[in-house]
């Protein structure tokens, strides 16, 4: 069975790593890795590949940055010849980036089954480009692997058949459980002067969503609120490349107490996150990871596509209201932490379930060995 796996951005690498590990344990699977180059920073991406044991991509499309429309179109243009040449039995996509939707569309038009890992997540906010990507990818997918029960309802409501949907757990948590013991050996806390959590508790911050960083006024208000929290506890802020250029416009007054550090590799960041007293973020994946780690998380958004992190986990939505952010942050620092639990199937074995289902279902459905004629370019 030939599975063509698509990655395009750093979060995809975290999700694909455990899947590739399981695929490599099955001699009957040929795993092909395609990196679209949607987001590629040599320092960051190379660190992720090395740290997570991901093999070098078999194909790198080297698409690069651009508008959503340009990037999606360029991936479509460049991936079609790869699909025709490689003749995969299915195309596996993860997450919700432009690479996800573009590869799904190209595969669907060539009659190749599409497998979506992390399907059915919905913020119900179509101003988020990722939400459009999720909806379109799921509409095109033949196999839908979900992380939480809300996702099943979303997909059925959108017309997917129940037999296409598989509740398997969370591959992000597979990666976390695999790499956490290694991450705990990281020296990043020593390097940042945070060697002892008891002596030096800290908070961890990430910001990258356009709704938070594209407006200088919004970003300044958020940083002012976080500065208030930083007056009580050090706040470590690994600055996302998207955010770096926008910080200057936010005004220096709000930046006094926050500790800015360069972007971190997966293991260093996981180490810091696991030991943090509090995490503030607008990242979907970090909401999941903090829930798995039992670390309090404040999400600086009005909505989340991962509601289980709120209903069952340690996550709280605080939006962009500075007063609400400060109040929630101080409550956590004063010991009023939310007691969460780890959601069902977030046990480190989601990847194994996915591959087991694919091997079984494709054999039954006869999708393994897609006829070559189906892969001819359409007129």
Of the candidates 345, 347, 368, the residue with the CA atom closest to the CA atom of residue 166: 345
Going by the DSSP 8-state scheme, the letter that residue 343 receives in this structure is: P
Spatial separation of the C-alpha atoms in residues 84 and 107, rounded to whole Å: 9
Going by the DSSP 8-state scheme, the letter that residue 252 receives in this structure is: G
Of the candidates 187, 330, 203, 207, the residue with the CA atom closest to the CA atom of residue 268: 187
92 bridge partner residues: 5, 115
Decide: helix, strand or coil at residue 199: coil
C-alpha angle 38-270-173 in degrees, rounded to nearest 5: 75
- Burial of 215 (C-beta count, 10 Å sphere; 0-12/13-18/19+): middle
Specify whether 208 is catalytic: yes
* Residue 334 dihedral angles phi and psi, to the nearest 5°: -90, 10
Distances (CA, A) of 249 to 202, 216, 226, 255: 26, 6, 17, 11
Residue 190 CA from chain centroid, whole number: 27
Half-sphere exposure of 122 (CA within 13 A, CB side): 17
Spatial separation of the C-alpha atoms in residues 229 and 328, rounded to whole Å: 10
Catalytic pick from 39, 68, 116, 208? 208
Catalytic residues: 208
């Amino acid at each position: 069975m030939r599975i063509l796996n698509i990655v395009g951005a750093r979060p995809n690498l975290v999700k694909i790593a455990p899947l590739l590990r399981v695929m490599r344990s099955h001699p009957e699977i040929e795993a092909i890795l395609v990196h679209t180059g949607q987001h590629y920073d040599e320092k960051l991406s190379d660190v992720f590949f090395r740290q997570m044991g991901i093999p070098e991509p078999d194909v790198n499309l080297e698409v690069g940055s651009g508008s959503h429309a340009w990037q999606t179109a360029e991936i479509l243009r460049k991936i079609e010849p790869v699909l025709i040449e490689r003749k995969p039995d299915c195309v596996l996509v993860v997450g919700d980036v432009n690479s996800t939707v573009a590869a799904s569309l190209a595969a669907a038009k060539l009659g190749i089954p599409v497998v979506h890992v992390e399907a059915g997540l919905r913020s119900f906010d179509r101003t988020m480009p990722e939400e459009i990507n999720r909806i379109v990818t799921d509409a095109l997918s033949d196999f839908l692997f979900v992380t939480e029960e809300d996702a099943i309802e979303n997909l059925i409501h959108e017309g997917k058949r129940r037999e296409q949907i598989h509740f398997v757990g969370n591959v992000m948590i597979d990666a976390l459980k695999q790499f956490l013991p290694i991450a705990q050996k990281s020296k990043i806390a020593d390097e940042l002067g945070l060697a002892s959590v008891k002596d030096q508790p800290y908070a961890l911050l990430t910001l990258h969503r356009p709704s938070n960083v594209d407006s200088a006024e919004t970003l300044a208000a958020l940083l002012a609120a976080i500065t208030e929290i930083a007056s009580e506890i050090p706040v470590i802020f690994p600055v996302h490349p998207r955010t770096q250029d926008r910080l200057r416009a936010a005004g220096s007054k709000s930046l006094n107490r926050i500790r800015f550090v360069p972007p971190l590799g997966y293991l260093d960041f996981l180490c810091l996150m696991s030991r943090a007293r509090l995490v503030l973020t607008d990242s979907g994946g970090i909401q999941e990871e903090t829930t798995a780690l039992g670390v309090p998380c404040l999400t600086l958004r009005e909505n989340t596509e991962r509601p289980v992190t709120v209903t069952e986990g340690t996550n709280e939505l605080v939006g962009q209201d500075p007063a609400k952010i400060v109040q929630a942050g101080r409550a956590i620092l004063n010991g009023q932490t939310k007691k969460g639990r780890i959601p069902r199937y977030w046990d480190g074995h989601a990847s194994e379930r996915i591959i087991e289902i694919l091997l079984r279902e494709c054999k039954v459905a006869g999708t393994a060995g897609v006829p070559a004629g189906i892969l001819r370019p359409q007129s």
